[in-house]
Amino acid sequence: MKSTTFVMNFVMLAIFVTMVGIAATYPPQARFMPFVVGIPGIALCFLQIFLDLCSVRRRKAEPADDRSDVEKARGEMSRYAGRTIESEATAVTESAPDLSSVPPNMVGREILIWAYFLGFVGGILVFGFWMVIPVFLFLFLRNEARLPWLRALLFAAVGTTLLYLVVAKLLRVDLFGGFLTTYLLDLLAG
């Protein structure tokens, strides 16, 4: 059993317990629905924790299903066809991205991508959308996509311009200016 699975059980349990606890302070009509789903939710979390603990031994005995999409499909289709299906199509599928999980040896990279995302959102809150978008695009394209300086700069500029045209000109949406930028602009305006 993956440790993240176990952690998620407790995260969900904590969410349900907290929300049911808060709902208990509401009048009966207002707390009815949170109770209707929250209490069974708590029970299901406990049940899932129990099932996960029970299945640890069984899972250890089973081989991991590390087949590619094509191999899995071949197995399924063989089942439906009632005969073995052989195909050459398995060879190149190893490079296809599997987004269902991230291997443990990539945790450092995982933290890095999260840092980009958090930095991007944090930057928007402080400096505003239009100041942070080009910087974020450039940094990511340069450092993670390994584009040459000039191309990264060009992609970031073109991307930002396109977004500006769509969001600010076509949809006429005023985006958040950022706390610091707005404060400084107000200060300058007197």
Partner 1 sequence: MLDVMFSALFQMLTSPHIMGLMLIGVMIGIWVGVTPGIGGRLSIALAIPFVFGMDMIAGAVFLLTMHAVNGTSGQISSIMFGVPGDGDDAATTIDGYPMAKKGEAGRALGASMTASGVGGIIGAGVFAIMIPILEPVILSFSPAEFFLLALLGITFIAFLAGGSNIFRGIIVGFYGVILSTIGMDPQTGIARFSGNFLFLWDGLSLVTAVLALFAVPEMIALGVRGGSISGVSMEAAHYSYRQIFQGVMEVPRHWWLALRTSIIGAVIGMIPGLGGSAAAWMCYGHAVQTSKTPERFGKGAVEGVIAPETASNAKEGGSLLPTLLFGIPGSSGMAILLGAFLILGIQPGPMLITDHLDLVWTLIWALVVGNVIAVGFLLFAARWVATLTFVRGTLIVPFVFVVVVLGSYINEGQWENLVILVVLSAIGYGLLRAGWPRAPFVIGLVLGKIAEESLNKALALWGMDFFLRPLSLVLIALIVLTIAYAIYKGRKPSKVAYGEGMSL
Provide the 10 A C-beta neighbour count for residue 101.
Answer: 9
Chain residues 75-104 in contact with partner 1, contact rule CB under 8 A: 75-93, 95-102
Quick check: 175 binds partner 1 (CB under 8 A)?
yes
Residue 109 is a binding residue for partner 1 (CB under 8 A): yes
HSE, side-chain direction, 13 A CA sphere, residue 92:
2
188 binding partner 1? (CB under 8 A): no
Q: How far is Cα of residue 113 from the mean position of the Cα atoms in its chain?
A: 11
Asked if residue 135 binds partner 1 (CB under 8 A), the reply is: no
C-beta of 62 vs 190, nearer to partner 1? 62
Kindly provide the residue ranges of all beta strands, DSSP E only, lying in 58-170, ordered along the sequence: none
Given 30, 53, 184, 185, the residue binding partner 1 (CB under 8 A): 30
Please tell me whether residue 27 binds partner 1 under the rule CB under 8 A.
yes
User: How far does CA 43 lie from the centroid of its chain?
Assistant: 27
**Residues 32-61, interacting with partner 1 (CB under 8 A):** 32-34, 36-38, 40-41, 44-45, 47-48, 51
Please give the Cα distance from 108 to 127 (Å, whole number): 27
Q: CB nearer to partner 1: give 108 or 190.
A: 108
Binding of residue 167 to partner 1 (CB under 8 A)? yes
Report the distance separating Cα 1 and Cα 159, nearest Å.
Answer: 42
Residue 109 identity (one-letter amino acid):
R
* Cα Rg, the chain, nearest whole Å: 25
Q: Does 105 bind partner 1 (CB under 8 A)?
A: no
Verify binding: residue 127, partner 1, rule CB under 8 A: no
The tokens for 89 are 């199509």
